[in-house]
Structure 1
Amino acid sequence: MDTILSETTSQPVAVGRAALPRLCFVGPMLGVNPGWVTTQGEIVAGLLAGEGYPVRSTSSIPARLPRLADTLRSLVAWRGQIDLVIHQVFSGPAFVIADTASALCRLLGLRQIFVLHGGALPEFAAARPGWVRRVMGRAAAIVAPSEYLAHTFSVYPELAARMRVIPNILAIEDYPYRHRPAVAPRLLWMRTFHDWYHPEMAIEVLSLLRQTYPAATLTMGGQEKGLGPAVRELAQRRGLAEAVRFPGFLGPDDKRREFAAHDIYLNTNRVDNMPVSVLEAAAFGLPVVATAVGGVPFLLRHGETGLLVPDGDAAAMSAAVRRLIEEPGLAACLSANGRRLAESCAWQPVKARWQTLFTEVLDHA
C-alpha cells in the first residue's frame, strides 16, 4: 500500500453544500525518496489534500515492476473509497504501468483522468498510435500541462474533445524573487544528466563565452543519469575544470542558494514539454536562454519571457548570453516578465481549473 494524504471515508467529504470527490493519484510518486525529484502529481495531490480533498496516492517504489504491483494492490484495496483516479502518464516503459493500471480501473468501474507528462510523449504516441489511442480512450478527461501537448494530440479527434490544459504548479511563495536589472556571466544549468537534456551543450556554451568573458562560470546541478562523468571529462578537456561546479541534486534549500548566486539560466534540452525548472528560474528572477524544442516555444516568448535558440546550437546560445550581459534593459525585461509567467502557475489560479474538471467529469459519470 502507499500514501493516504488525508483521512478518507467510504463517502465523499461534505463541505457546506458541496461534496469533495475522493481522489487517487497513480504514477511515479517518488519524491519521498532521497535524491528523487518531487513530481507534479505529488505536488497536486498534496495541495488538494490541503484543501480538504480525501486523497490517496500510489506508488513511491522506485523500481517499476514492484511499483506496478503496489499500484494494482492499492487500487483493488481502495476501490470502494475512490471517486476519481488521476493517472500520471509518461512515455517509454512507464506507459506500460499507465496501461495496466487504467485497464484495472476500467474493470473496477472507476472514473479516470489522464495527466500527460514529458516532452518525449508526442514521438512515443506517433510511433505507437494504436496503443496510445486505446489506452487514452479509457479516460473521461485528459490533462495537458501545456498547449504544446494539447496541440500534439489534437490529431486524434476522439482524444482532442476530452483534452484540457492545466499548467504545472509552482509554489511561488517558495521562490524569492530578485530582479536582475543587469547580469553577470554567472550561469546555472539544472536538469538530469541524461542525453535528453544535452548537458554537454552547457559546457560548450561556457567555453565560447569565456573567449569574451574569461571570468564566466557555470554551475550544473541535477540527478546523475549516466552522462555526469562524460560532462566532467569534457569540462577538463576544454580547460574549464576550475570554472564549472557540480553540486549534485538540488533540494529546495539548495535551489534557493544556487539560484540566488547566479544570473542566467541555461536550458539546453533536446526534448521538452513544459519544463518546471525553467519556471523555477523565471520565478527566482533569472533570465532564461533555452533551446526552442518541444513545448518551450509555447511556454516562452522570444525577447519577452526568454531568449530562444536552435536545438544544439552552442554558438547561438553563447551569443544570447552575451546579449543579456551587454543589454541590461533586455535582462531586466526578461527578469520581470519571467516572474509574471511563473506567478500564472501559482496554486490559486490552477486550483480552480482542477475543481472545474472534477465537477465536469463526475457530472457526466
Structure 2
Amino acid sequence: MKHLVYLGNKLSSAGRTQSTIDTLSTLLRAEGFTVTTASKQTNKVLRLCDMLWTILRHAKQADYVLIDTYSTQNFYYAYLCALLCRFLRLPYIPILHGGNLPQRLESHPQLSASLFKKAFINSAPSNYIKAAFERLGYTNVKCIPNSIILKAYPFKERNIQTINLLWVRSFSEIYNPKLAIRVLHGLLERGITATLCMVGPEVDGTLAATKSYAKALKVTVTFTGQLSKAEWIALSQDYNVFINTTDFDNMPVSVIEAMALGLTLVSTNVGGLPYLIDNNITGVLVPPNNADAFIEALLVLRQDRKNTAAMVSRARAQAAVYDWNSVKKLWLAHLK
C-alpha cells in the first residue's frame, strides 16, 4: 500500500480546531494507506523545520506528499516544502484551502507558478478555487471536496420561532465573529427572542475582543471555547440557525456539517460559499459584514416556515454529496 507524507497545521492538541490534516489522514489510514503527518509544533519556525525534516526522513518510502496550502503565511510553508519535494523528485499534492488563494496567485505569480504548476495535481476542495486557478492557466487542478462522515450527524427538524443562533469557527479576524454579536443585538432590539452560542478556540486575540464587544453591546452570549466534534454536534441539538459570518472563505466543513444536522443556514456570500450554498434553495447568502441583511434573512425564514423546512431538507440532501464514501473514490483514483 502507498506511503503518504501529509504536511499541515496539526495543532488540535494545542487547543486549535481540528483541521483537514487531522480528519483526512485518519480516513486515509482507514483505507489502508500508511500516513506520516507533520507538524504539531506551535512555533512557526519549528513547525516548518519539522515539516522539512519529515520529508527528508521519509523521502525513500514516500509515494506522495500532501501539503495543506493556505493563502496566508502558511503559503510559504507549502512553497518551501514543495521546493524540497522537487529536489528529491517526490510527487506532491497541494490541498488548496485558503479562500484568498486566487488573490495570492495574482500577487505572487512566480512563486505560485513554481508551487502549483509543478505539482502532481492540485486538490481543490471547491469549484470556486478550481475555476480561479483555471482562469489563470492552471490545468492540473482536480476538485476533491472536503468530506464528512454523514452518519455522525443526526438530522433534526427544528422550529425557528425562537431564533437560537450557533456560530462555529476559530476566533480569527478574517471570520468576523463580531458580526454575529451585531446580528444578535439587532434581533433583540427588534423585540425578537434570540440567543447566540459561539464555539471555537482563540487564534489571534479575536475571542477576547469579541467577548468585550458583546459586553459593550450588553448582550448575553455563550462562549464555549474549543469543543470536540462530538461535543459541538451534541450542542447543536439546542440550536436552530447556523450563521457563517466570514469575510474570506473556501469550503468550510462547519457549513457542510450544519447542512447535515438540519440547521437553517445563513452565510456571507464570499469566496466558495456560493459554490456550496444554493441561495434560497439550501440556505441564504447575504452580503459580507452586513448585520441588517442577516437579520432580514432570519426574519423571512422565521415567518415562512414551510419554505424554511424545505430548504433545510434540501441542504441535508446536498450534504450527502460530501460523505466520505463518495469523496474517497476521488482520492483513491489519484493516489492508487
Q: Give the TM-score band, short-chain normalised.
A: over 0.9
For the residues of structure 2 that align with 1:41 and 1:91, how far apart are their CA atoms? 16
8 Å contact from structure 1 (residues 143, 166) kept in 2: yes
> Which residue among 146, 156, 159 is the counterpart of 1:178?
156
Displacement of 1:315: 0.5
SS in 2 for 1:37: coil
Displacement of 1:214: 4.0
8 Å contact from structure 2 (residues 263, 312) kept in 1: yes
8 Å contact from structure 1 (residues 223, 248) kept in 2: yes
2:206 match: 227
1:28 match: 9
2:328 match: 351
For the residues of structure 2 that align with 1:174 and 1:252, how far apart are their CA atoms? 10
Displacement of 1:268: 0.7
Matched, 1:331 2:312: no
1:305–1:66 Cα change, 3 Å? same
TM-superposition CA deviations, 1:256-315 (whole Å, max 9, x none): 232111000111111111011111111111011001011111110011110011111110
TM-score, with length taken from structure 1: 0.88
8 Å contact from structure 1 (residues 182, 332) kept in 2: no
> Which residue among 245, 268, 289 is the counterpart of 1:312?
289
TM-superposition CA deviations, 1:170-198 (whole Å, max 9, x none): 12222111123555311111112222111
For the residues of structure 2 that align with 1:306 and 1:120, how far apart are their CA atoms? 23
1:341 match: 318
For the residues of structure 2 that align with 1:57 and 1:218, how far apart are their CA atoms? 36
Displacement of 1:137: 2.2
8 Å contact from structure 2 (residues 16, 170) kept in 1: no
Report the AA paired with residue 136 of structure 2. Answer: Y
Q: What aligned pairs does 1:1-365 form with structure 2 within 5 A after superposition? A: 13=1, 21-31=2-12, 33-157=13-137, 159=138, 161-180=139-158, 182-225=160-203, 226-240=205-219, 243-359=220-336
Report the AA paired with residue 86 of structure 2. Answer: R
Displacement of 1:213: 3.8
Identical-pair percentage: 32
Displacement of 1:81: 0.7
Stretches of 4+ moved more than 6 A in 1?
none
Report the AA paired with residue 38 of structure 2. Answer: T
8 Å contact from structure 1 (residues 197, 271) kept in 2: yes
8 Å contact from structure 2 (residues 162, 192) kept in 1: no
1:18 match: none
TM-superposition CA deviations, 1:189-225 (whole Å, max 9, x none): 1112222111111111111111334431111111113
TM-score, with length taken from structure 2: 0.95
Displacement of 1:83: 1.0
For the residues of structure 2 that align with 1:214 and 1:302, how far apart are their CA atoms? 24
SS in 2 for 1:179: coil
For the residues of structure 1 that align with 2:217 and 2:68, how far apart are their CA atoms? 40
Displacement of 1:120: 1.9
For the residues of structure 2 that align with 1:238 and 1:201, how far apart are their CA atoms? 12
8 Å contact from structure 2 (residues 144, 330) kept in 1: yes
Mean alpha-carbon deviation: is it higher for 143-152 or for 102-111?
102-111
For the residues of structure 2 that align with 1:72 and 1:163, how far apart are their CA atoms? 24
For the residues of structure 2 that align with 1:104 and 1:183, how far apart are their CA atoms? 56
User: RMSD of aligned C-alpha atoms?
Assistant: 1.5
1:140–1:253 Cα change, 3 Å? closer
SS in 2 for 1:262: coil
For the residues of structure 2 that align with 1:136 and 1:151, how far apart are their CA atoms? 14
1:8 match: none
8 Å contact from structure 1 (residues 40, 169) kept in 2: no
8 Å contact from structure 1 (residues 180, 331) kept in 2: no
Q: Which runs of 5+ in 1 are unaligned?
A: 1-12, 14-20, 360-365
Displacement of 1:43: 1.4
Report the AA paired with residue 203 of structure 1. Answer: I
SS in 2 for 1:210: helix
Q: Which runs of 5+ in 2 are unaligned?
A: none
